Amino acid sequence: MMKVVPSPEFIFLIYEAGRRYIVCLEQKIYTCGRFQLDEIPCSHTIVALKHKNVTDMHPYCFDYYKPDVLAKPIRSNGFNAR
Q: Per residue in 28-77, pLDDT tens?
A: 888 888 777 778 888 888 999 998 899 888 888 777 766 676 666 666 55
Q: Cβ neighbours of residue 39 under 8 Å, at least 6 residues apart?
A: 61, 62, 64, 65
Q: 34 versus 12: which is more confidently predicted?
A: 12
User: Within a domain: residue 78?
Assistant: no
Bridge partners (DSSP) listed for residue 29: 24
Please indicate, yes or no, if residue 18 is contained in any of the structural domains.
Answer: yes
Q: Which pLDDT belongs to residue 62?
A: 78
Using alpha carbons, select from 61, 37, 57, 50 the residue that is nearest to residue 2: 50
Average pLDDT estimate for 11-36: 86
In this predicted structure, what is the pLDDT of residue 74?
A: 61
Contact 42, 53 (CB under 8 A): no
Let me know if residue 57 belongs to a domain. yes
On whether the pTM is more than 0.85, the answer is no
Buried b (16+ CB within 10 A) or exposed e, 22-54: ebbbeebebbbebbeeeeebbebbbbbbeeeee
Q: How many domains does the chain have?
A: 1
Domain encompassing residue 41: 3-70
- 64 part of a folded domain: yes
